[in-house]
Amino acid sequence: MLLSYGKNTARAYWGDLDDVFWWAQARGKDILKLSEKDLRQYVALLRRRKYSESTIRRRVTALRKFYGELVTRGVSDSNPDSAVVIRLVHA
């Protein structure tokens, strides 16, 4: 997934995914089975941490792209669609 992006974008997405993986693990959540509610909680945490809206959008987008890659490879059938991402960011 990350190989198709520039170095800086790939590095940012890697950090974004690492953060959400640690967040999910700390809560006993399976990263492949995060619900929209889980993602809302994660976004709320980012806002409490005072992350900029552009950073929050990038983090949610990185996660959506990750899920998309899993669907493409047949690892998962779950991928938050764009409407979910928009709702998360604007919640």
pLDDT in tens, the chain (91 residues): 555 778 888 899 999 999 999 999 999 999 888 888 888 899 999 999 999 999 998 998 888 888 888 888 887 776 655 556 556 666 5
Residues 12, 5 contacting (CB under 8 angstroms): no
Residues 76, 70 contacting (CB under 8 angstroms): yes
Rounded Cα distance between 34 and 70, Å, is 14
- CATH tag, 2-90: 1.10.150.130
Domain boundaries, the chain: 2-90
Rounded Cα distance between 26 and 20, Å, is 10
